[in-house]
């Protein structure tokens, strides 16, 4: 049976742990917002940077109630962040009754982190001061960082990464306290940790990240992005984060997939029966069929036949349901969001060495023809599982 906390029991746990958190917190203070208790274990739609493709009819079809996108902080230099597509769309969706998650993306993978006390850090915090008024109290969840351990120079994934993100988080916490007091409707999470199934990513910096999450009373928890080589690789993520958080803290899973597993099979030969039925030459490889669907989208029946006739895919057809059972089974999942729609970047220059993100999508407008009667994008394999999981969220 799915193990979940009721709102009443969750509130009781929060009351006890909040009272004790001040003794362990370097930034002790009131922990606001228990709005998330109403959506414990939810599954929503992740759009990343592709939020301009949001379609409310598709969200209704899938039953999604939560929407997630991210805002790249350098975009602040291009004008009012409130006019940016990510923030503007999430605010509009909130007005329509959807619950929203905004991740703040700090791309430092091509330059060093600002040193503490530097003019460069002051400039980054000034950017924050432009973004926060457009999001605080307007989105349900604000995630501080997108993928810090990827969006950074490999040599600086150490205390320099920690110092930067801790400074940013303190600035966000201070802003929320000054502007919102205890009445702000935005929960704060740190995020997101990647590849925790690999020992090298469970680094001293990752441990310090979790220590900061635990000791900072205003932080509700941490985000994780389990993009996996196999479904069993998700458990190490939970084994790493859960013991390092306060008992009342929860976690997000705003991205998850089997993309690393899918990629291993791009050079597999497609089943002979599928090749014969649909006119592909013997020995055609998986990536070549995907490229053919990109060049001329398949019918829904043909795309489904391609995937379900492939043993490597069919064996993982329960992935979405199984992962949600794992995350919900902890009793500490706040919200998970799953890749909702294929975008341009997924199909550009597709070949055997490209990450096949497009296989994850609930809607597949670049590989599947739309149903003429619905007016919706082509439906991917995962739509029915996604809808079914709304009934148990």
Angstrom distance (rounded) from CA 339 to CA 262: 15
Q: Where are the beta strands (DSSP E) in 82-218?
A: 99-105, 141-144, 187-194
Q: Is the pLDDT of residue 25 over 50?
A: no
Residues 341, 276: contact at Cβ < 8 Å?
no
Least confident range from 15-29, 64-78, 108-122, 160-174: namely: 15-29
Q: Is the pLDDT of residue 309 over 60?
A: yes
pLDDT at 13: 31
User: What mean pLDDT is predicted for residues 251-275?
Assistant: 98
Torsion of CA 247, 250, 255, 259, to 10 degrees: 30
Q: Where are the beta strands (DSSP E) in 172-321?
A: 187-194, 219-225, 250-253
Beta bridge partners of 66: 99
Give backbone dihedrals phi and psi of 221, rounded to 5 degrees, phi first.
165, -155
Assess whether the previous peptide bond of 278 is cis (omega < 30° from 0).
Answer: no
User: What mean pLDDT is predicted for residues 346-351?
Assistant: 97
Residues 144, 71: contact at Cβ < 8 Å?
no
Category of 179 on φ-ψ map: left (φ > 0), alpha (ψ -120 to 50) or beta: alpha
Angstrom distance (rounded) from CA 97 to CA 24: 37
Torsion of CA 326, 328, 333, 335, to 10 degrees: 100
pLDDT at 181: 72
pLDDT at 182: 58
Apex 219 CA angle, 176 and 88, nearest 5: 55
Q: Is the pLDDT of residue 155 over 60?
A: yes
Q: Among residues of the chain, what percentage have pLDDT more than 90?
A: 86
Q: What does the block give as tokens for 100?
A: 């929203």
Q: Is the pLDDT of residue 8 over 80?
A: no
Radius of gyration of the chain (CA): 21
pLDDT in tens, 159-195: 999 999 999 999 999 999 998 875 678 999 999 999 9
pLDDT confidence band for 1 (50 / 70 / 90): very low
pLDDT at 20: 32
pLDDT in tens, 76-91: 999 999 999 999 999 9
Q: Is the pLDDT of residue 347 over 70?
A: yes
pLDDT at 392: 63
pLDDT in tens, 133-150: 999 999 999 999 999 999
Q: What is the mean pLDDT of the chain?
A: 90
DSSP 8-state code for residue 111 = S
Could you tell me which residue, 3 or 79, shows the higher pLDDT? 79
pLDDT in tens, 188-211: 999 999 999 999 999 999 999 999
pLDDT at 24: 33
User: What mean pLDDT is predicted for residues 229-242?
Assistant: 98
pLDDT confidence band for 23 (50 / 70 / 90): very low
Angstrom distance (rounded) from CA 286 to CA 305: 13
pLDDT confidence band for 260 (50 / 70 / 90): very high
pLDDT at 183: 60
Q: Is the pLDDT of residue 12 over 70?
A: no
Q: What does the block give as tokens for 6?
A: 């009721």
Assess whether the previous peptide bond of 192 is cis (omega < 30° from 0).
Answer: yes
Q: Among residues of the chain, what percentage have pLDDT more than 70?
A: 89
């Amino acid at each position: 049976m799915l193990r979940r906390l009721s709102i009443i029991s969750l509130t009781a746990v929060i009351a006890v742990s909040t009272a004790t958190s001040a003794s362990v917190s370097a930034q002790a203070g009131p922990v606001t917002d228990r709005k998330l208790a109403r959506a414990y274990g939810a599954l929503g739609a992740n759009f990343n940077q592709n939020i301009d493709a949001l379609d409310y009819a598709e969200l209704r079809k899938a039953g999604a109630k939560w929407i997630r996108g991210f805002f790249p902080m350098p975009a602040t230099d291009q004008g009012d962040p409130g006019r940016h597509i990510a923030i503007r769309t999430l605010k509009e969706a909130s007005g329509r009754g959807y619950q929203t998650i905004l991740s703040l993306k700090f791309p430092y993978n091509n330059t060093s982190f600002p040193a503490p006390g530097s003019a460069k850090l002051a400039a980054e915090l000034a950017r924050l001061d432009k973004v926060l008024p457009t999001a605080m109290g307007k989105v349900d969840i604000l995630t501080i960082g997108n993928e810090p351990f990827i969006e950074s120079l490999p040599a600086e994934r150490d205390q320099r990464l920690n110092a930067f993100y801790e400074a940013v988080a303190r600035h966000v916490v201070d802003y929320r306290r000054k502007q919102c007091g205890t009445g702000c409707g935005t929960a704060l999470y740190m995020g997101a940790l990647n590849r925790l199934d690999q020992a090298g990513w469970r680094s001293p910096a990752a441990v310090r990240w979790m220590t900061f999450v635990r000791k900072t009373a205003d932080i509700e928890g941490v985000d994780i992005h389990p993009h996996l080589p196999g479904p069993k690789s998700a458990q190490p993520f939970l084994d790493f984060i859960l013991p390092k958080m306060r008992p009342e803290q929860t976690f997000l899973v705003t991205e998850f997939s089997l993309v690393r597993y899918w990629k291993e099979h791009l050079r597999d030969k497609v089943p002979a029966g599928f090749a014969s039925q649909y006119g592909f030459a013997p020995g055609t490889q998986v990536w070549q069929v995907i490229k053919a669907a990109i060049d001329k989208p398949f019918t829904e029946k043909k795309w489904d036949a391609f995937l379900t006739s492939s043993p490597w895919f069919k064996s993982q057809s329960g992935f979405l349901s199984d992962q949600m059972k794992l995350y919900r089974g902890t009793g500490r999942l706040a919200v998970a969001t799953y890749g909702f729609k294929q975008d341009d970047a997924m199909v550009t220059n597709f070949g055997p060495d490209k990450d096949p993100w497009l296989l994850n999508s609930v809607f597949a407008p670049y590989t599947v023809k739309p149903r003429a009667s619905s007016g919706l994008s082509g439906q991917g394999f995962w739509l029915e599982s996604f809808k079914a999981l709304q009934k148990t969220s």
